[in-house]
Structure 1
Amino acid sequence: MSASDLSTSGPVTRHVVAETLREEASVWLFVVKTLIAFFLTGWIAMRLDLPAPSTAMLTTIIVANRQAGMVLAKSFYRALGTLAGATAAVGIVAAFPQQRDLFLLALSLWIGICAGGATLYRNFKSYAFVLGGYTAAIVAIPVIENPPGVFDSATARISEVLLGLLVSGVVSDVIFPSRMRDVLRRTARDQFAHFVAFVRDSTGGAIPRESMEKAHLRFVCAAVSLEDLRSSVIFEDAEARARSHHLRLFNQRFMAASTSFQSLHHLINRLKRAHRDATASLLIRLYAPLGAALDAPIEAGAAARVLLPRLAAARETMRDNTGPLRDTLGDTQDLRDFDTGAALLLRFVDELHDYVDAAATLQAPRVIAASAERVRFDRGNDFLGAGIATVRTTLTMLVLGAFWIGSAWPMGSSAMLLATVFAGLFATTPNPTRVTWLVMLGYLSGMVAGFVCEFFVLTQLDGYGLLVVGVAPFLAVGLVMMMTQRFASYGLGWAMGFAYILALKNVQTYDPSHFINDAIAQVVGLGAAAVSFVVIPPAIGSAWLRRRQLARLRGQVALAAEAPLPGLRHRFESVNHDLVSQVVAQTEPGSADSRALIAWALAVHETGRALIELRHDMARRELPATLRPYLEDALGTLSRFYEKPDARGYLLARDAVATAIASVGEHDGVAHLLEHLHLVRMALLDGESILAAYMPDAPLGKEIAHAS
């Protein structure tokens, strides 16, 4: 080994050791904080003489997270779901106090609706629906023989859950808190730095399509991750709440700028492939001042503010250079290509300036008054997939309810409760069958540990202090596993199974037969949830849903062509990014489905934005009556082709756009419309895009063609 190897291996080794120790410290800090919250909640619940302290204690495990913001966000939505579920339980019991069949039907339908609602949302909004479902079951099922007790049951459940949430929130926020705001700031800073650097490094020429596809995925993930973090951090940090609107605006401007950036480089690539090197070279020359403007230390805290005047100067230089560069061209087609590229480049510079301006606002030490521009991040939800989750969960509850009534099984309520919890909890995961079985194995292990703890440890101890000493080692095993990627589901099952079966309360009872019967019922409930995912497979992660999501993605072109213009840019960008992120999360990287998704996403982004800009220009001024039908026909034909792509639809769309271009050329004062139409036409004629599969002379054997 050389001296240089020795000199470099030392720092690398120290870095690896430091990162390992830091990760281990983070895991054990999480374990200790969760144990503190668990036992402190139990002590308070017992001092207050709540009916089921174990419910409050279990709540601390369910909302446990390393980040304080995540705990607070999850607690907020858990509280909402608990209140909604308790209210629904009171209503159902009041409506059917003596009709057990109708009671179970109504309860099953409510739980199913909540499971379906959970699939329509991401993050902890989804969790609120899950809680709304199984809280109703937890409140209503125990009082099925005593309907007047439903109010007491609801009050107790709410009190226990809110106590667990309060203690978890305080512990996570006071004891060595790990702030989500730091993660949010780092994410926003990285998004800004990486995008600006990518734009700066690309000003020298074209970007290969493969690189552009990878960049597009990075842009999508960055935008969705930032929105997910923003929606959680607002619970933790007052400054984040005050800057929430600015963060949304920052993210929306990032999505708009990244779409225009991709369109610009697709155009340059097409010109190069068509051997129109003169036009491509002129556009790259026109592009050059932007690279010089962005050549600044973007990692510095004041980077955005420093870049603003540089970008403004570059924009003026580019506008001044447009005319002289254009005059060097003589061919009509070259002039049209240059005009299209120059207009797109100047639009991108404007959007990049707006994005940097939003970044400068975020970096300001004081919160600046919110902009008049109001934006929101719309999601691409699939209501049919939610309907499948509703049907599956409802049927599972009905089958278990019928078995309970028919068999008069004393522990049937426990089975229904566990089935309710896990049928809703894992309805939103891509592979719920596997996850449920892993959790069930962990749950079984946790119950075995609970048996050992209850009958061989707790029976030898007296007092709450010794109870903590006896229970903590068993629970810590599950919490540690929850923090490992490989055993996270198993660890969650262990911790929940151990805490649930232990059922700690003021006067602890030691009844082995009841313990074993309850454990069997819980296993039956878990098994029923797992079987339900096999009998009625979930839509999430399925090829069927991916086809629907791709169809919805293509349908975004129809949205761009037909939806009302106010707020359309923001809606188009956010829904596109959310749909792409959903399919990316559910497909194997590099697979045919993944490549099809990326290819369609690039085509939809480019064409959709061009149509939106075209419609905005059409709305700004009065158009000749003879021109508007051709433009509207092009819009309608394009939207129909993207909704149901085929070779015939492609030819109709191509010809409709060509006719619209010819019609615009016959009228004065509307030449600006040509820039958008020509960009759409170039996208339609791109032999390397997904649309090549529908061209008359193109090979149809591309792997990505099947996605249509």
Structure 2
Amino acid sequence: MAAVNPTANAQGTREVVVETLREEASTWLFVAKTLIAFFATGWLAMRFDLPAPSTAMLTTIIVANRQSGMVLAKSFYRGIGTVAGATAAVGIVAAFPQQRDLFLLALSLWIGICAGGATLYRNFKSYAFVLGGYTAAIVAIPVIENPPGVFDSAVARLSEVLLGLLVSGMVNDVVFPSRMRDVLRRAARDQFAHFLGFVRGATGGSIPREAMENAHLRFVRDAVTLEDLRSSVIFEDAEARARSNHMRLFNQRFMAASTSFQSLHHLVNRLKRAKRDLAASTLIRLYAPIGDALDMPIEAGTGARLLLPRLAAARDTMRGNVATLRATLADTQDIRDFDTGASLLLRFVDELHAYVDAAASLQAPRVLGGSAEKVRFDRGNDWLGAGIATFRTTLTMLVLGLFWIDSAWPLGSSAMLLATVFAGLFATTPNPTRVTWVVMLGYLSGMAAGFICEFFLLTQVDGYGLLVFAVAPFLAIGLVMMMSRKLAFYGLGWAMGFAYILALKNVQVYDPAHFINDAIAQVVGLGAAAVSFVVIPPAIGSAWLRRRQLARLRGQVALAAEAPLPGLRHRFESVNHDLVSQVVAQTQPGSADSRALIAWALAVHETGRALIEMRHDMARRDVPPTLSPYLQAALHTLARFYEKPDAHGYQLARDAVATAIASVGEHAGQAHLLEHLHLVRMALLDGESVLAAYMPSAPLAKEITHAP
């Protein structure tokens, strides 16, 4: 029996206790900061005699986040949405001051468009759209009987919301701020160290396909996470704003290098499976200087600057070794395989050097604003899914509006407001029906707590100080639950329901009948939002959308083959990573859908990037007129096959590539094109890839067939 090490056990227990205490401290710090912002906003709103201090106070809950940068980013976009919504409300009321039906139609359409726009983004930009719809409703609906009052209503709502945003931002930036820039720097360091460590560990030979698939998922998550963090950190830190484009360039170079790295190891794996060990081992020998260059402690900053000359020397060594190693090969097929791999390897080391250079520049004491190449991170948005969200939300608002008109329900406006908030807020979640019902349960609990607080405690206190003591414990319960992964949505519902139903103002009115009627109206609004997700299911998380996203991913090969070349590399890489990230987030890990996604992603990355590089070479050098039709035919058939894969399209693409290879071989000075085409053909004939399902016979899985 193994001896127990009491020191190790004590150390483990101590680490668990420290981590638990750190998490608890973070939770209660979030609760304290949110409560400070909530009550400071309420006090200021009452001092300024704003009509609805509760709107300003509710704003502090909606933008609450433990990270200061997240609060500032959320507040920035909420401010944009608020201004846009107030402007739209004034325009709608001015256009239809006496036509209630047309007014509700225009308002419903605006809210629907905002909900659709929210589905096109996966960061706080989506929140601007949600607030654009919500603000239009809270400005326009209360003045439906008094159109001239719309301007005063817009000014009041803007004042209340912007006050809440200002106070939240100041509190989170002053009271023990938790900086997102630290998270961003840590994410960039982790990405850098993990990728270079993986590259260093892979210089000894082939990588199992499963390991490469897992690495690809990690690369995708790292790239998308870094972009999401960058887009939030720029709001809290001036230095982060100055380095924002450098961070984008760092991320783009990471995506380019990781794609070439994967293509290189797929090539080595295929050669080994085809028993072409001499070509594979020769490429591994050519690869060896990279491992030697990376054989040092790796981290961003000083380590990156020290790596640059080592990688440059490795690149020079590899270029000098190409001819020597090629001379050791006698077989024509081995030479062709080596030429293809050597070209890919030299491209990879160039991209790796550029990536390390970007990492080093991020750590420079000063970064000049215009010193980095301008790049963008494009997203793979689905406009049809946004159209579904627009239709669903518009229809829900119209149904509630018609019910309000026909029933003359005095509190129908409250139902519409709540339906507006949650129909837009949860349109971007993978399972909005479940989320909305969980939030509704939390909302009911919060309103029940609000009833107890308002009629049993607030009626017994006098002054704002005692009001804080009466309200804070109830609100803190919801805020604590918001920090729990399991209870986050329930806690959000609790906090919003409690704050919204209290409707705190300068002269508080205690009317149980109105309280209960308003609570019923709010539940009806929440229920309408939940039912709308059942009647018209959202695209997000559905098998239908996954199929569309997978088709969009395959269509990236057509983009690589036919789109204009300027900026194409960056667009191809960023959209690919974003699409894969979306589908991974909505797919059960290890499922058939997940495996199919990864397999297609690897094929698309490799083939698409090879086509882009080939087109750049075609653009840089003169292609003989007699050769151009064969190259264009290869590009066209590959694009059509990936757009709609089937056995016939596969054979057309395979034969077109083989014909292009044979044609290039007949023209002197076109070896650079032959290397790209050969790589594409090897990918087409990979029996372990997703393309194997379209191959006419199984034997192709056992060997790499070369063009005559």
TM-score scaled by length of structure 2: 0.98
Q: Which residue of 1 aligns with 2:56?
A: 56
> What's the CA shift string for 1:394-418, capped at 9, x where partnerless?
0000000010011111111110010
Shift of 1:363: 1.4
**Where do residues 459-478 of structure 1 align in structure 2 (5 Å cutoff)?**
459-478=459-478
2:116 counterpart of 1:116: yes
Q: Which residue of 1 aligns with 2:531?
A: 531
Q: Which residue of 2 aligns with 1:332?
A: 332
C-alpha separation in 2, matches of 1:356 and 1:644? 38
Q: Which residue of 2 aligns with 1:345?
A: 345
Q: Which amino acid aligns with 2:162?
A: L
Q: Which residue of 1 aligns with 2:402?
A: 402
Q: Which residue of 1 aligns with 2:361?
A: 361
Shift of 1:370: 3.5
| 8 A contact 1:630–1:660 mirrored in 2 | yes
| 8 A contact 2:184–2:233 mirrored in 1 | yes
The SS at the match of 2:566 is: coil
C-alpha separation in 1, matches of 2:31 and 2:542? 35
The SS at the match of 1:555 is: helix
Q: Which amino acid aligns with 1:517?
A: N
Q: Which amino acid aligns with 1:273?
A: R
C-alpha separation in 2, matches of 1:458 and 1:257? 62
Q: Which residue of 2 aligns with 1:209?
A: 209
Shift of 1:455: 0.1
Q: Which residue of 2 aligns with 1:706?
A: none
TM-score scaled by length of structure 1: 0.98
Q: Which residue of 2 aligns with 1:418?
A: 418
Q: Which residue of 2 aligns with 1:457?
A: 457
2:514 counterpart of 1:514: yes
C-alpha separation in 2, matches of 1:93 and 1:406? 20
2:547 counterpart of 1:547: yes
C-alpha separation in 2, matches of 1:317 and 1:369? 35
| 8 A contact 1:418–1:522 mirrored in 2 | yes
Q: Which residue of 2 aligns with 1:14?
A: 14
C-alpha separation in 2, matches of 1:403 and 1:5? 71
2:559 counterpart of 1:572: no
**Where do residues 577-656 of structure 1 align in structure 2 (5 Å cutoff)?**
577-656=577-656
2:131 counterpart of 1:126: no
C-alpha separation in 2, matches of 1:299 and 1:617? 34
C-alpha distance 300-374 of structure 1, shift in aligned 2 (>3 A): closer
**Where do residues 62-101 of structure 1 align in structure 2 (5 Å cutoff)?**
62-101=62-101
> What's the CA shift string for 1:358-381, capped at 9, x where partnerless?
000011122245335210000000
2:416 counterpart of 1:440: no
Shift of 1:301: 4.0
C-alpha separation in 1, matches of 2:47 and 2:2? 67
Q: Which amino acid aligns with 1:694?
A: Y
Q: Which moves more between the two structures, 29-38 or 300-309?
A: 300-309
Q: Which residue of 1 aligns with 2:199?
A: 199
Shift of 1:71: 0.3
C-alpha separation in 2, matches of 1:641 and 1:17? 57
Q: Which residue of 2 aligns with 1:703?
A: none
2:39 counterpart of 1:45: no
| 8 A contact 1:56–1:160 mirrored in 2 | yes
| 8 A contact 1:246–1:370 mirrored in 2 | no
**Where do residues 295-334 of structure 1 align in structure 2 (5 Å cutoff)?**
295-299=295-299, 301-334=301-334
Q: Which amino acid aligns with 2:386?
A: A
Q: Which amino acid aligns with 1:360?
A: A
Shift of 1:44: 0.3
Q: Which moves more between the two structures, 316-325 or 469-478?
A: 316-325
C-alpha separation in 1, matches of 2:299 and 2:672? 38
| 8 A contact 1:221–1:581 mirrored in 2 | yes
C-alpha separation in 2, matches of 1:156 and 1:638? 58
C-alpha separation in 2, matches of 1:222 and 1:355? 14
2:255 counterpart of 1:226: no
Shift of 1:635: 0.1
The SS at the match of 2:688 is: coil
Shift of 1:230: 0.2
The SS at the match of 2:297 is: coil
C-alpha separation in 1, matches of 2:429 and 2:647? 37
| 8 A contact 1:43–1:464 mirrored in 2 | yes
> What's the CA shift string for 1:531-554, capped at 9, x where partnerless?
000000000000000000000000
C-alpha separation in 1, matches of 2:589 and 2:606? 23
Q: Which residue of 2 aligns with 1:704?
A: none
| 8 A contact 1:67–1:179 mirrored in 2 | yes
| 8 A contact 1:361–1:368 mirrored in 2 | no
Q: Which residue of 1 aligns with 2:703?
A: none
Q: Which residue of 1 aligns with 2:36?
A: 36
C-alpha separation in 2, matches of 1:82 and 1:4? 61
| 8 A contact 1:693–1:699 mirrored in 2 | no
Shift of 1:300: 6.8
Q: Which residue of 1 aligns with 2:257?
A: 257
Shift of 1:671: 1.2
**Where do residues 369-388 of structure 1 align in structure 2 (5 Å cutoff)?**
369-371=369-371, 373-388=373-388
**Where do residues 168-207 of structure 1 align in structure 2 (5 Å cutoff)?**
168-207=168-207
C-alpha separation in 2, matches of 1:289 and 1:124? 44
> What's the CA shift string for 1:245-271, capped at 9, x where partnerless?
100000000000000000000000000
Q: Which amino acid aligns with 2:487?
A: F
Q: Which residue of 2 aligns with 1:103?
A: 103
Q: Which amino acid aligns with 2:693?
A: A
The SS at the match of 1:191 is: helix
Shift of 1:11: 1.0
Shift of 1:296: 1.0
Structure 1: stretches of 5+ with no match in the other structure: 701-708
Shift of 1:299: 3.4
Q: Which moves more between the two structures, 91-100 or 298-307?
A: 298-307
C-alpha separation in 2, matches of 1:176 and 1:369? 30
Shift of 1:4: 5.1
C-alpha separation in 2, matches of 1:590 and 1:141? 48
C-alpha separation in 2, matches of 1:67 and 1:532? 33
Q: Which residue of 1 aligns with 2:706?
A: none
Q: Which amino acid aligns with 2:54?
A: S
| 8 A contact 2:637–2:652 mirrored in 1 | yes
Q: Which residue of 2 aligns with 1:705?
A: none
Q: Which residue of 1 aligns with 2:26?
A: 26
Q: Which residue of 2 aligns with 1:245?
A: 245
Structure 2: stretches of 5+ with no match in the other structure: 701-708
- Computed over aligned residues only, the root mean square deviation of the Cα atoms, in angstroms, reads 1.0
Q: Which residue of 1 aligns with 2:141?
A: 141
C-alpha distance 275-429 of structure 1, shift in aligned 2 (>3 A): same
The SS at the match of 2:698 is: coil
> What's the CA shift string for 1:620-639, capped at 9, x where partnerless?
01111100000000000000
Q: Which amino acid aligns with 1:410?
A: P
**Where do residues 693-708 of structure 1 align in structure 2 (5 Å cutoff)?**
693-698=693-698
C-alpha separation in 1, matches of 2:217 and 2:699? 27
Q: Which moves more between the two structures, 594-603 or 3-12?
A: 3-12
Q: Which amino acid aligns with 1:119?
A: T
> What's the CA shift string for 1:627-685, capped at 9, x where partnerless?
00000000000000000000000000000000000000000111110010000000000
C-alpha distance 313-54 of structure 1, shift in aligned 2 (>3 A): same
C-alpha separation in 2, matches of 1:614 and 1:347? 12
| 8 A contact 2:38–2:61 mirrored in 1 | yes
